[in-house]
Each structure stands twice: as structure tokens, then as C-alpha cells.
């Protein structure tokens, strides 16, 4: 597992929790650990990464490392710039999906990609992954 992998797991944790105590919460974040010491260090590395990004604040309290979420994850925004080729590809994928399900309320203008379009792209991919996984299990 990499620092990026654990960072994703920590963000999932913070979707429903405002604080993490590594000692107390470790087994809820990493369900199976072959080397608990190294995996706890990995969790701490991920938390330090989030702290550098100013998403969490750490404090030592009664011999425990606590990390508090600075603000609700729903209020965090990211600004990105994408090239027109990428915007066109995003709109093609979403628009083809809209054609396939015969629902055109979410058709995308490639000159104006919005946050909801990125979300829809992720949802389309998530549905495809689930379908592929279900098909693999059926075989």
C-alpha cells in the first residue's frame, strides 16, 4: 500500500468522522495488516500528507496522536484546468452514455465542463466497474 492509497482510505474515514486516533481507529482503517507497526507508520504518513495539505490538524493528547479534520470535506473545493481535448473526451463519454440510456438532461457542452460533469463521469465509470466485477463473478 502506498501513501496515496492510505490517503484515499483516510479521506473515506473523514467522510463520517471528524477525528482519528491512530491507536484506537487503526483496525477500522486497515482491516487486515501483516505488519501492524509499518502499517501504522503508513497511516501516520498519510495523515502527515493531509496535514501538509491543511486538511487536518494534529495534536498529542494523553500520549495519543489525534488528527482533527479542519473543516467538513463537503466544503473543500479544488480548482483544476483541463485542456480542450480532455473536455471534449469527457463530453463524448457522458453524451454517449446519455444516448445509451435515452436521457439527455445531463448532456455536456465540451466548452463548459462543470463539477457535475466530472461527478457524472466518475459515476459512469463506477457503474461500469461494478458491472464488470459482477460479470467476472458470474463466470
pLDDT at 67: 97
pLDDT at 76: 82
pLDDT at 135: 80
pLDDT at 47: 97
Residue 21 predicted with pLDDT over 80: yes
H helices present in 1-139, as ranges: 3-14, 22-29, 36-52, 84-101, 115-138
User: If you average pLDDT over every residue of the chain, what do you get?
Assistant: 92
**pLDDT grade for 2, boundaries at 50, 70 and 90:** very high
Contact partners, residue 11, CB within 8 Å, separation at least 6: 50, 73
Amino acid at each position: 500500500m502506498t501513501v496515496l492509497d492510505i490517503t484515499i482510505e483516510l479521506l473515506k474515514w473523514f467522510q463520517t468522522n471528524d477525528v482519528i486516533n491512530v491507536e484506537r481507529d487503526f483496525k477500522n482503517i486497515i482491516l487486515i495488516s501483516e505488519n501492524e507497526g509499518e502499517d501504522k507508520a503508513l497511516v501516520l504518513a498519510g495523515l502527515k500528507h493531509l496535514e501538509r495539505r491543511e486538511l487536518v490538524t494534529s495534536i498529542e493528547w494523553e500520549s495519543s496522536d489525534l488528527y482533527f479534520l479542519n473543516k467538513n470535506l463537503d466544503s473543500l473545493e479544488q480548482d483544476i484546468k483541463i485542456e480542450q481535448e480532455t473536455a471534449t473526451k469527457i463530453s463524448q463519454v457522458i453524451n454517449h452514455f446519455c444516448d445509451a440510456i435515452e436521457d439527455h438532461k445531463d448532456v455536456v457542452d465540451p466548452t463548459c465542463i462543470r463539477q457535475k460533469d466530472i461527478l457524472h463521469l466518475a459515476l459512469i465509470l463506477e457503474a461500469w466497474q461494478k458491472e464488470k466485477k459482477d460479470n467476472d463473478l458470474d463466470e
